[in-house]
Structure 1
Amino acid sequence: MKKYILTIVVALGLTASISAQDSYYYCSGDKVLLTEHSTKVVAMAPKGNSFSLPLSKGLILTDTISDSNSLITVYELSSTVTPSRVKALVPTSTSVNLQSCYNTEDGTELIPDGYINVKLKTASDSSKLQAVASQYNCEIVEQNEFMPLWYSLRVPNTSSINPVEVANAIYETGNFESSFPSFSMDALEISYDPDVYKQWGLYNSQYEGYDINISKAWNYATGRGIKIAIVDEGIELTHKDLAANVSPLSYDAVTNSSPSKVYGDHATHCAGIAAAVRNNGLQIAGVAPDAKLMSVSINFDSSNFMKETSNALMWAWKNGADVISCSWTCPRNDLIMEAIDSAVTKGREGKGCVLVKSAGNTSGSITFPGNYKPSVLAVANMTVDGSLRYSSCYGSNMFITAPGTNILSTIRYNAIDYKSGTSMAAPHVAGVAALILERNPKLSATKVRQIMGKTAQKIGSYPYDTTKTYGTWNERYGYGLVDAYNAVINTPRY
């Protein structure tokens, strides 16, 4: 079941005490009615808490949702168990907040996640927010970067605090413009782009769980403000599903001039995977649909490929690329190694560019420069059922796995088509790197790699029997399947 944190923008005010009330939340001053789910309960606990309700008591664990603060578990009740009986199973000494699950009038299931969204009437009302947070022992988690009158609060992990009732009480004080509880919910409508459901790497309806878990991640980051350089055959700059995200800065390493040129479909396909425009009603969606695409063109047939490609890498980081996506190979050489070293150490004002590289499609060792050093993120090719593509390369520098087989994306002449290979896996990872950097642009490239490695999903038939810097690992899948949602919610804010 795909779930993501839904911030349903509503309204806010507060009462001195919370009394029993019908279930609802406020939206634009109106009550949106809710029905408590009679056969489900929600347990919210601090992250790392080992408490779980005893399944032998007529409970079935149906869902687990987590972020950097909380672990939320949802239980289905058998016919012999009532919610009141479940409360008796929670020791008073345990920091667990047991809540109801709700349904809207149209049947949508809403799971409270412990957060409350509050909008001030004016910036000077921050003292009122602090007072009400203190009254209900809530933590003020953050101020919205883009809408600074909005704040996120989190209720304590105690069984007596109901986030829905607290949100209503805050609104009913009349001191705030809006206050509403945050919910997790089923969110299959990940995009309004007509072909998005053919992008199994974003949402895999055939094999649940074998995708990059993007729909929930988009509630936290979309790549806004981050630049992804596609060092490849050149992006079609006017493509209808890319143009709005294309940076005005581009470069052709073959002629040492701008703008970039197009030498084939490959770069445009990689660009769409990384950052095609989302919700424009056209074609597909990219992993980081608000990131900027920098087209840095090279010619795979050039007689001076190594010099031109090293120049392309240098141009990318010197012109502000945050992430560099490379889906090509060549013989090991000092020019490209020096350019990579410069990008990953000097790029982003010394924080380093995140450099992503396709692992290769020869069924053997990772191809250069994916095998150069750990600062180059080599990416393996996963198929729709979670297995490794037979041709995907492997080795000691394998970092992570991403969807790479039968991937739908943009190609030249405003079209879309399917392609396969680690070339398609790499830009999925480049897009996730952009999401992480939007959440915290102050992170070093090393920290971005750490977040992706530690939050990857363990998949596949090969055992993760080696412990490396960021956890268990194997040479086929690296640290596992890249997980966009787990990566962004575990990104420390600045």
Structure 2
Amino acid sequence: MAQKLFSLVAFLLFTIFVSAQEHFYYYKGEKIALTLNTQRVNVRVAADFDSLTIANLGFKLSNFHEDKLIENTFFGEIDFNNTNYTSSIENLKEIEGIIGIFPHFQKNKDKSIGTSDIFYVKLKNIEDFNILQQTILNKGGKIEMQVPYMPEWYIISVDDLNLGTAMSLSNEFYETGLFEDIDPAFMFNFTPTCSNDPMFGSFGG
């Protein structure tokens, strides 16, 4: 019962964050505005999740795959098929096994940018790991791993929806000025490896 109540509160907070906040990211020092795509989201689900529950709502689940970064979870993309965004989120939050819901943004008329619960941080120097640790303590998040063969890069996850979305937290990290680069890990062409590629989110405005 307590777990279900926590999930309900978490998803309610997600809806408030996504609906009310200004959507943007930083690129080469500039704030780039984003438009929320109200017909598509990404989801992280538990390993025993029943995908038929999505179809029963009239939604379409695609690109469904096991996530290699966060163990015992799967990741996928949901299209709402022209239903109301807020009510669709409300319906999703009732489904057992959904761990997180992450917004999409409209890049242009035909392309959508997906997000997840991770982003990437590049240290100014390899020795600055303590700065990353202190920022995590101050702002939240979790260090998942150091990117192989790229020692300045770290993958950060947002494991508490009270912190907002991964993109909003990545903006807060950028605004500290303590890091060489911040990559919000946008997904342009959804593939099973895109959420694990440290340079996947890098793109121009």
Same fold by TM-score, threshold 0.5 exceeded? yes
Residue aligning to 2:62: 62
Residue aligning to 2:180: 177
Matches for 1:60-209 after TM superposition, within 5 Å: 60-68=60-68, 69=70, 70-79=73-82, 81-89=83-91, 90-91=93-94, 96-105=99-108, 107-135=110-138, 137-156=140-159, 158=161, 161-186=164-189
Q: Report the AA paired with residue 88 of structure 1.
A: E
Classify 1:170/1:45 alpha carbon distance in 2 versus 1 (closer, same or farther; 3 Å). Answer: farther
Checking the alignment, whether the CA contact within 8 Å between 1:138 and 1:155 is kept in structure 2 is yes
Hey, what's the Cα distance between the residues in 2 that align with 1:152 and 1:214?
17
Classify 1:96/1:125 alpha carbon distance in 2 versus 1 (closer, same or farther; 3 Å). Answer: same
Hey, what's the Cα distance between the residues in 2 that align with 1:143 and 1:26?
22
Q: Report the AA paired with residue 61 of structure 1.
A: L
Q: Report the AA paired with residue 79 of structure 2.
A: E
- Find the residue that maps to 1:110 and give its secondary structure: strand
Checking the alignment, whether the CA contact within 8 Å between 2:146 and 2:153 is kept in structure 1 is yes
Q: CA deviation at 1:32?
A: 3.2
Checking the alignment, whether the CA contact within 8 Å between 1:97 and 1:160 is kept in structure 2 is no
Q: CA deviation at 1:133?
A: 2.7
Classify 1:38/1:92 alpha carbon distance in 2 versus 1 (closer, same or farther; 3 Å). Answer: closer
Q: Which runs of 5+ in 1 are unaligned?
A: 1-17, 188-212, 221-494
Q: Report the AA paired with residue 166 of structure 1.
A: L
Matches for 1:190-339 after TM superposition, within 5 Å: 219=197
Classify 1:106/1:91 alpha carbon distance in 2 versus 1 (closer, same or farther; 3 Å). Answer: closer
Classify 1:87/1:168 alpha carbon distance in 2 versus 1 (closer, same or farther; 3 Å). Answer: same
Hey, what's the Cα distance between the residues in 2 that align with 1:160 and 1:96?
15
Q: Report the AA paired with residue 57 of structure 1.
A: L
Classify 1:132/1:82 alpha carbon distance in 2 versus 1 (closer, same or farther; 3 Å). Answer: farther
Q: Report the AA paired with residue 84 of structure 1.
A: T
Q: CA deviation at 1:168?
A: 0.9
Q: TM-score, normalised by structure 2?
A: 0.68
Classify 1:186/1:176 alpha carbon distance in 2 versus 1 (closer, same or farther; 3 Å). Answer: same
Q: CA deviation at 1:67?
A: 2.0
Residue aligning to 2:30: 30
Residue aligning to 2:202: none
Q: Deviations over 1:323-350 (max 9, x none)?
A: xxxxxxxxxxxxxxxxxxxxxxxxxxxx
Q: Report the AA paired with residue 179 of structure 1.
A: I
Q: Deviations over 1:399-433 (max 9, x none)?
A: xxxxxxxxxxxxxxxxxxxxxxxxxxxxxxxxxxx
Checking the alignment, whether the CA contact within 8 Å between 1:59 and 1:76 is kept in structure 2 is yes
Q: Which runs of 5+ in 2 are unaligned?
A: 1-16, 199-205
Q: CA deviation at 1:160?
A: 6.3
- Find the residue that maps to 1:151 and give its secondary structure: strand
Residue aligning to 1:50: 49
Q: Report the AA paired with residue 37 of structure 2.
A: H
Hey, what's the Cα distance between the residues in 2 that align with 1:168 and 1:97?
20
Q: Deviations over 1:132-182 (max 9, x none)?
A: 334554221222343322211122275864111111111112222221211
- Find the residue that maps to 2:188 and give its secondary structure: strand
- Find the residue that maps to 1:182 and give its secondary structure: coil
- Find the residue that maps to 1:166 and give its secondary structure: helix
Checking the alignment, whether the CA contact within 8 Å between 1:122 and 1:149 is kept in structure 2 is yes
- Find the residue that maps to 2:180 and give its secondary structure: strand
Q: CA deviation at 1:62?
A: 3.0
Classify 1:171/1:113 alpha carbon distance in 2 versus 1 (closer, same or farther; 3 Å). Answer: same
Hey, what's the Cα distance between the residues in 1 that align with 2:119 and 2:22?
18
Give the structure with higher Rg (CA): 1
Q: CA deviation at 1:116?
A: 0.7
Checking the alignment, whether the CA contact within 8 Å between 2:25 and 2:32 is kept in structure 1 is yes
Hey, what's the Cα distance between the residues in 2 that align with 1:214 and 1:40?
17
Q: CA deviation at 1:184?
A: 2.6
Hey, what's the Cα distance between the residues in 2 that align with 1:134 and 1:86?
34
Checking the alignment, whether the CA contact within 8 Å between 1:97 and 1:157 is kept in structure 2 is no
Hey, what's the Cα distance between the residues in 1 that align with 2:163 and 2:56?
25
Matches for 1:482-493 after TM superposition, within 5 Å: none
Q: TM-score, normalised by structure 1?
A: 0.31
Q: Which has the higher contact order (CA 8 A, sep 6+)?
A: 2
Checking the alignment, whether the CA contact within 8 Å between 2:63 and 2:192 is kept in structure 1 is no
Q: Report the AA paired with residue 87 of structure 2.
A: R
Q: CA deviation at 1:92?
A: 9.5
Classify 1:215/1:167 alpha carbon distance in 2 versus 1 (closer, same or farther; 3 Å). Answer: closer
